[in-house]
Amino acid sequence: MPGLFSPFSVKSLALDSRIVLPPMATGMAAEDGAPTERHLRHYLARASRSVGLVIVEHSFVDPAGRLSEGQMGIHSEAVLSAHAALAAGIHRAGSKVALQISHAGAAARSSLIGTRPLGPSARPLPRDGAEVPCPLPVTQLEELKEAFALAAMRAVQAGYDAVELHGAHGFLLSQFLSPLANERVDGYGQTLAGRARFPLETVRSVRARVGPDYPLLYRLGLADYLAPPQNAGLKLEEGLIVAGWLAEAGVDLLDISGGLGGARPPAGGAGYFLPWAESARACLTIPVLVAGGINDPLLADRAIRCGMADLIGVGRGLWADPAWAEKARQMLLGAS
């Protein structure tokens, strides 16, 4: 059985290690969303041959989908050179590199974007301070699919080895999946298939733009896991169905996470998304990446060897200790 430091490949993405630095926002971007020298220092400190893949933090595909000040963007040709420098630097350090692309949708703030946020329906997200979004007309959905596709093409041009669509944590693609945010009565709502239509069409638009051989990742919130009385959100069994649809639509690797409830369930604990990843992997023909409370190299290695996931995201561990992966390699090789 492969272990944490076994090679892994999907299409042209060939990794020397199964450790992934998952996308974690730093708030270091320039005013126009371009990566900065601070980003380069941050990622270079953590990239190495022991970290197979670095997924650079979420970058907005359209200014109306910007979540926060300091967020990175990939919405314009003007930021391409800065992205190219970041990708090249991470490559020199020894890691492969992907870029996560996103649209905040109803999670955006009018005070930042200068207009009312956009969402599936005129229903605010179930979180403090959420604004009532402007429901997206079908014509604008076409524009947004194109925005994602163009952003992905820019990632290719900048030299990223793969691109990941952000469909979790209450961002626009996950808003469409959740009945707590999507109350549409047209073909983009009402049923699970209707709610999944926009995310699936977005995947197909991106795939058509980047071509059949470019690695395409998708971070999926498998369930909303909100406490009662908000327990009518996306259910785990529904998320697993959507996972299969995403694979059929052209996704090469699924990054398992939570939905509207965010990146960490209330219970927490070590490896809190590992059971979800194992369930997804059991019903999929594509590989699975999982992050979430995995800071112990032995747990990470065991999860790979037991077939719970194909890749392990170590976010907070690498954030706190940039040498985490190198130390893990020494520990595991010494124990073998």
Residue 163: CB atoms within 10 A of its CB come to 26
Residue 156 tokens read as 């290719």
CATH topology (fold) of 8-335:
TIM Barrel (3.20.20)
Residue 179 tokens read as 């009945």
Annotate 32-101 with DSSP letters as a single string: TS---HHHHHHHHHH-STTS-EEEEEEEESSGGG--STT-EE-SSGGGHHHHHHHHHHHHHHT-EEEEEE
Q: Is the pTM value of this prediction over 0.95?
A: yes
How many helices (H) and strands (E) would you count in the chain? 11, 13
Res 227: pLDDT: 64
pLDDT in tens, the chain (336 residues): 899 999 999 999 999 999 999 999 999 999 999 999 999 999 999 999 999 999 999 999 999 999 999 999 999 999 999 999 999 999 999 999 999 999 999 999 999 999 999 999 999 998 888 999 999 999 999 999 999 999 999 999 999 999 999 999 999 999 999 999 999 999 999 999 999 999 999 999 999 999 999 999 999 999 998 766 556 799 999 999 999 999 999 999 999 999 998 777 766 789 999 999 999 999 999 999 999 999 999 999 999 999 999 999 999 999 999 999 999 999 998 754
Total residues found in the chain within this entry: 336
- Residues with Cβ within 8 Å of residue 306, at least 6 apart in sequence: none
Task: Report domain extents, the chain.
Answer: 8-335
- Residues with Cβ within 8 Å of residue 73, at least 6 apart in sequence: 29, 32, 33, 34, 59, 60, 61, 63, 66, 79
- Residues with Cβ within 8 Å of residue 142, at least 6 apart in sequence: none
* Residue 50 C-alpha from the chain's centroid: 21
Res 231: pLDDT: 62
Rounded to 5 degrees, φ, ψ at 281 are -65, -30
Rounded to 5 degrees, φ, ψ at 105 are 55, -130
Q: How far is it, in rounded angstroms, from Cα 113 to Cα 222?
A: 29
- Residues with Cβ within 8 Å of residue 29, at least 6 apart in sequence: 35, 36, 39, 70, 71, 72, 73
